[in-house]
Structure 1
Amino acid sequence: MSLDGRTAKVEKINEVTSEETPRVATNLKELNRVLGGGVVPGSMVLIGGDPGIGKSTLLLQVSGQLAHEGRVLYVTGEESATQVKLRADRLGVGNDEFYLYPETDMTAIKKQIDDLQPDFVVIDSVQTMQEPDVTSAIGSVSQIREVTADLLQIAKTNNISVFIVGHVTKDGAIAGPKILEHMVDTVLYFEGDSNYKYRILRAVKNRFGATNELGIFEMRDGGLIEVANPSEIFLEERLAGATGSAIVVALEGSRPILVELQALVTPTVFGNAQRTASGLDRNRVSLIMAVLEKRANLLLQNQDAYLKAAGGVKLDEPAIDLAIAVALASSYHDKESRPSDVFVGEIGLTGEVRSVADIEGRLKEARKLGFKRAIVPKNNLNGIELPAGIQVIGVATLSEALALALD
Structure 2
Amino acid sequence: MTGVRSFGLFRRLRVASIATAAAIAVLVAITYGLTLFGGVIDGPVKAVLADYATVLVRDLPADAGQADVDRLARTHRVAVTYHRNGMSLHADSPSPTLPQPMMLSATAPAAGGASVELRWPVADAARFHLAALAILIVLVITVLAAHHVYQARLLAPLRWLRRSVEAVAAERFDTVAPMPRGDGELAEVARAFDDMARRVRDMLAARERLLGDVSHELRSPLTRIKVALEFIPEGEKQDQIRKDVGIMESLVATLLERERVARGAIRMTSLDLAALVRSIVQEERRRPLALDVRAANTRIRGDADLLRILSMNLIDNAIKFSTEDDDPIEVVLEGDEATCLLRIIDHGVGIPETDRLRVFDPFVRLSAAREHGKGYGLGLDLCRRIANAHDARIEIVDGPAGGTEIRTTFSTETGPGCIGRTPSSR
Coarse TM-score class (shorter-chain normalised): under 0.3
Provide TM-score, normalisation by structure 2.
0.16
Q: Which has the larger radius of gyration?
A: 2
Structure that is richer in strand per residue: 1
Provide TM-score, normalisation by structure 1.
0.17
Structure that is richer in helix per residue: 2
The answer to which structure, 1 or 2, has the higher relative contact order (CA under 8 A, 6+ apart) is 1
